[in-house]
């Protein structure tokens, strides 16, 4: 019996700039607040021929721009887990799944890993970046005004790129999903449960004030598998600043 193809919904949830049907590893990337497929659009070039890179697309951007922004964790995690699960169910060459999440994406990747393990198909590895352990609560009052939002991002996360600020139209387009994602991140509440068995690698930029070293180490509480803290140079967007390093570690190519 032929395998069913990915549904249109799955294609919208998981963007893939370079499909690799024969891949042995599928790296699923969860962007930071305001991020989308463009954040990881070139990662397939450094991932190697045996790795397919996909990016989670949240409602309200890219191919899902016609949908309202997400404001409910359960629905986001459910649809993401279903899309990831179907990657191998609908493929002629099942592959190991590696989840990577940056900031807000770290929480989404973690919750997705929990759901996948509950169904008996946990990922090979969970890689998180720029986020304290999920049981460490963070408060964030997201302003409704654009100027105040920009000031918040500058102060807390290191700012909006100069190139983006220089084009008012692009900046205006970026602020609504950024605000929506920050509100989603601020609404997260950790629900205690069985720790993962999936190995966890936790990255943080040494200049990122939002993730003190002790809070990075807290990820060890959430897995009975191997845990590796990985401080790297840079700030909150350390994974974007050092994609080659992150790919090498996330994919297990430590000696390359």
- List residues with catalytic annotation: 103, 236
Both tokens assigned to 21:
């049907």
Residues recorded for the chain: 256
Q: Which residue has the tokens 């309202």?
A: 68
User: What 8-state DSSP symbol labels residue 223?
Assistant: B
- Taking every pair of C-alpha atoms in the chain, what is the biggest distance, in angstroms? 57
How, if at all, do strands 51-56 and 200-205 pair?
A: unpaired
Q: Which of 73, 63, 53 is nearest to 13 (CA)?
A: 63
Both tokens assigned to 139:
């408060």
Cα–Cα distances in Å, from 197 out to 47, 125, 218?
25, 10, 16
**In this structure, what are the phi and psi dihedrals at residue 205, rounded to the nearest 5 degrees?**
-70, 135
How far apart are alpha carbons 183 and 180 in whole angstroms? Answer: 5
């Amino acid at each position: 019996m032929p395998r069913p193809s990915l549904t249109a919904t799955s294609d919208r949830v998981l963007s893939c700039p370079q499909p690799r049907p024969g891949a042995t590893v599928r790296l699923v990337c969860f962007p930071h607040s305001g991020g989308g497929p463009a954040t990881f659009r070139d990662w397939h070039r450094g991932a190697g021929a045996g790795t397919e890179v996909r990016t989670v697309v949240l409602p309200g951007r890219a191919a899902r721009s016609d949908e309202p922004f997400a404001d409910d964790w359960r629905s986001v995690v459910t649809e993401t887990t279903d899309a990831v699960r179907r990657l191998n169910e609908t493929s002629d060459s099942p592959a190991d799944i590696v989840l990577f999440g940056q900031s807000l994406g770290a929480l989404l990747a973690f919750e997705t890993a929990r759901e996948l393990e509950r169904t008996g198909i946990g990922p090979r590895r969970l890689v998180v970046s720029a986020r304290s352990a999920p049981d460490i609560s963070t408060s964030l009052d997201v302003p409704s005004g654009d100027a105040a939002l920009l000031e918040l991002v500058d102060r807390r996360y290191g700012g909006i790129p100069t190139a983006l600020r220089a084009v008012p139209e692009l900046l205006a387009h970026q602020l609504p999903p950024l605000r929506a994602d920050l509100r989603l991140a601020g609404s997260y509440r950790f629900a205690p449960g069985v720790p993962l068995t999936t190995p966890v690698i936790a990255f943080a930029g040494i200049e990122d004030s939002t993730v003190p070293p002790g809070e990075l180490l807290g990820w060890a509480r959430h897995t009975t598998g191997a845990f590796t803290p990985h401080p790297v140079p840079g700030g909150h967007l350390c994974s974007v600043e050092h994609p080659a390093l992150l790919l090498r570690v996330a994919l297990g190519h430590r000696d390359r």
